[in-house]
Structure formats: C-alpha cells, structure tokens
Structure 1
Amino acid sequence: MIQTIYIIILTYFLLGGIGFYFINRKKDPQVARKSYIKFITYFFIINTLFFSIIINTAIFRVLTVVIIAAGLLELLKLFQKNGFQHKGFFVLSIAVFASLSFGFYFFSGFAQGLILFSFLVLSIFDSFSQITGQLWGRKKIAPNISPKKTYGGLIGGTLVALASSFWLDPLYANNIGKSLLLAAGIIFFAFTGDLAASLYKRKYQQKDFSNLIPGHGGFLDRFDSLIAGGAWIAVCIYFLNFKLF
C-alpha cells in the first residue's frame, strides 16, 4: 500500500510540474525561476515529512517541535520588526498559535496510518489549490489579506483532496464517511490557518515571515496549514471522541 501511495504522490507531482510549466511559460524568466525553486523545495519538504512518518513517527514528532519552534520565532520576529505594535493582536495571535501547536504536537503522536492520511490529504489540497488557482482562479477570496487565494483554487484543491481521501481511506479506518469528515475538516482548518497567517503578515506589513526556506516565505508560510490541519485531527480524537475504527 505504501509503495502504491508513493507512486501516486510522484504522479501528482508530475501533474503539478506540468501545471507549473503551463503557468510559467509566459511569465518573466525571473518570476518563473522563483516558481520552480518553490516547487522543487516543496518536493523535498514533502518527501522529508513523508519518509519521517513511514520510517518512524518519532522522527516526525521531532520535526513538529522544530516547525512549532521556528513558527513561534517568526511570529516574535515580525512583532519586534514592527516596533512591538498591536500588542493585543499579538497576544491573541500567540494564544491561537499555541492552541493549534498544542493540538499539532499531540497529532504527531497518533497512529502512523492516521498521520499519513491527514498529511497526504492536506498536502494534496495545498498543492492543487495553488495549481488550479493559478490556472483557473479568477475571483479572489480575501484580496486584502491573501491576494493569491481564489475561489477557483479553493474549489479545485478541495475536490482533488476529497477525491483522494477515497483511495487513502484504507490507511486507517476503511470507512468512507469518516474519511470524508476528517478530510473536510483538514481542508477547512488548513485553509483558515493559512489565511490567519497571511492576516498576521498583513497586520505587521510584511510580505514574508522569513527567508529560511528557498522559494517560500518562511516556516509558517509553508507549515501553517499543516499545524492547523493536525490540530483538527487532535480535536476529533480528544474532544469529539471520534472513533477511528
């Protein structure tokens, strides 16, 4: 099953690469180059997280701590860089981030199949929302917060991710209803978390959190949706008494 899943992931990346080719072929070479760097970096990130889950989920748990710590530092850095303004907003943001991070950390200790299912659904949504958004997205969702997010991207990413949850279902439950519920929640939390991170940057008048990851706007820019999506799974297990099997 794992081998088949990885082959499908590589197929998705191939389709994504083709999509980015059509997106970038008429763009300025410098802009296209940055887009390809982002795509290649994302490929390595996905593989690193995928194999950390497959080899030993304890490795993935260590990576979650690194992601949380780096994200917190980026929030603090932007607050400091802006002269410690909007203190109330900052305190609220830290409280939300801490709550989501707490859930994300507990998520990293769940069964391998559930972690892998959640991670793949989220990654597929994230990837295809960007691709379909750039190919067919016209109407913007929140132009003042996140100018690149479009309804076309949201719908495209959601449809591909929900459809993918059907063949990912055997990873943990063999129950389509539960798979769709978890996948829908992951998508909602991931999108909302991404939007919240963009709001934080806009509030402090910054384009990126940092330049630590080539082609991306920092750790939170890359992992905000993963933190929020993982927190949703923790909510399902600990607070909604969601039965996995």
Structure 2
Amino acid sequence: MYVLIANILLLFFGIGALVTGYLNKNCQVAQAREHWLKLFFYFLILILVFFSIYTDYIRLLAICIGIVGLYEIVKAHLLSKRSLLLFSPVLVVYLALIAAFIDFGHRASTEKVFLLYFTVVIFDGFSQLCGQLFGKRKLIPSISPNKTTAGLVGALVIASSTSLFLFPSIGMSIAQTLMTTLFICFSALLGDLLASWYKRSCQIKDYSTLIPGHGGILDRFDSFIFSGAMYGLIYL
C-alpha cells in the first residue's frame, strides 16, 4: 500500500510540475520562482507527514500542529483587535477540533491515517490545478476567492478515482471507499473554508510566514485538521 501511494503521489507531483511550468510561461520571473518554491515546500511537507505516519509519530505531529496553530489563531485575533467575546467561540471550536484530531492520530490505524492524508493531498492539489486550468466560476468568492467550481468538481473526480486503487489494502468495499473519500473531501473543503473565513474576519492574508509559499501551519494543515477530526468523531 505504501509503495503504491508513494508512486501515485510522485506521478501527481510530476503532473503538478508540468502544470506549474505551463502556467509560468506567462508569469514574471519573481512570480514563477514563487510558484516553484511553493511546490518544493509542498513536497517537503508531504515527506514529513508521511514519515510521521509511517513511523507512528502522527500523534506527536498533531500535537505540534495544534500548538503552533493555537499561536497563529491567537496572533490573528490580537492583530485584528476584535473583542474577546467574538474570539471565545472560535477558540473553543479550535481546541475541540485539535483534541479530536490528536485523538484520531492516536486511535486510527496507520492505513486509515494514510488514506485520509492521501485523500486530502490529492483533493487539495487538484482543486488548485483544475481551478487554475479550467476555473471560471468562483465557488465562494467572499470567503475564498481562489476556489472555483471546476476546481472542486475536478478534485472530487480525481480523488474518488484514485481511492479505488487503495480499497483492497484498507479493508473496505468499493462503495465504502468512495463514500469515505467523498466524506474526507467535503470535510477538507469545509475546514479550508472555515480557516479562510476566520482569516477574512481578522483581515489577514495568511496566518503567518512560517512556510514559504504557503503561509502558516493553519494555511497548510487546516483541511487535514478538520477532516481528521471529523473522521475520528464519526468513523472511529
């Protein structure tokens, strides 16, 4: 299973590199360099997370993500100068999600964690690629101006199709695998939108500048946190 996932992701990263090169033809040098830097760090993050899952350190990684994310949430609130009354519900929801995410990392089997992160990566990556290539109609521009209907549809189709290669290894039927994949995709989308909504309400572009080309921990891991938490609460 692990070799299959690695090969599929390498193939998709190759596709991503080709699309990035194609899109960079009409970009200025600085912008093109930024696109390649983003792809490079995305690859490094992918290796880090997969290594953490494979070596059974995903719970430790989840705790680290939660702590840094908490710092970014608080920092965004302080910069926005919003009242504590408005911040309190956000903090409670975030802490509940992180607790559920850490619990998911502790209780879920390695195969289930791999399936979830693999699906989130495919969905997130192809949402962006399909949106850049074919997207015209914005999905929810007031919250996330870069998301498009074409990006969503394309990512759902590719993530669902790819999951069919994995069902023999995770003890699920084809129907169960497809339903689980769609659940993960929509959970990832909702997590992304919630994180984007909070950024907009705080009037910031990124949660931090920790990861070049990506922003902060929450900018990169919001979908993983929310989908992991939801999977843990409903499926485990």
CA positional deviation for 1:99: 2.1
Change (3 A) 1:70 1:171: farther
* Structure 1 residue ranges, 4+ long, deviating more than 4 angstroms after superposition: none
State the number of aligned residues. 235
CA positional deviation for 1:179: 1.1
Counterpart in the other structure of 1:40: 40
CA positional deviation for 1:170: 2.5
Counterpart in the other structure of 1:128: 126
How far apart, CA to CA, are the structure 2 residues paired with 1:188 and 1:88?
Answer: 29
Unaligned runs of 5+ in 2: none
Kindly, what percent of the aligned residue pairs are identical? 37
Kept in 1, the 8 Å contact 2:41–2:213? The answer is yes
Counterpart in the other structure of 2:143: 145
How far apart, CA to CA, are the structure 2 residues paired with 1:173 and 1:89?
Answer: 44
CA positional deviation for 1:86: 4.1
Counterpart in the other structure of 1:95: 92
Counterpart in the other structure of 2:162: 164
- SS of the counterpart of 1:178? helix
Kept in 1, the 8 Å contact 2:5–2:118? The answer is no
Q: 1:113-152 CA deviation, whole Å, 9 max, x = no partner?
A: 1111111011100111111111111111111211101111
Kept in 2, the 8 Å contact 1:145–1:202? The answer is yes
How far apart, CA to CA, are the structure 1 residues paired with 2:94 and 2:162?
Answer: 28
- Alignment partner of 1:107 is 2:104: yes
How far apart, CA to CA, are the structure 1 residues paired with 2:185 and 2:69?
Answer: 20
Unaligned runs of 5+ in 1: 239-245
Counterpart in the other structure of 2:25: 25
Amino acid corresponding to residue 89 of structure 1 in structure 2? L
CA positional deviation for 1:69: 0.7
How far apart, CA to CA, are the structure 2 residues paired with 1:8 and 1:237?
Answer: 25
Amino acid corresponding to residue 91 of structure 2 in structure 1? I
Q: 1:191-230 CA deviation, whole Å, 9 max, x = no partner?
A: 0110111111111111110001111121000000000110
Change (3 A) 1:26 1:70: same
Counterpart in the other structure of 1:185: 183
- SS of the counterpart of 2:14? helix
- Alignment partner of 1:2 is 2:10: no
CA positional deviation for 1:78: 0.8
Counterpart in the other structure of 1:202: 200
CA positional deviation for 1:102: 1.7
Kept in 2, the 8 Å contact 1:140–1:151? The answer is yes
Q: 1:92-128 CA deviation, whole Å, 9 max, x = no partner?
A: 2222212221221111121111111111011100111
Kept in 2, the 8 Å contact 1:146–1:198? The answer is yes
Amino acid corresponding to residue 19 of structure 1 in structure 2? V
Kept in 2, the 8 Å contact 1:212–1:219? The answer is yes
- Root-mean-square deviation (CA, aligned residues, Å) is 1.3
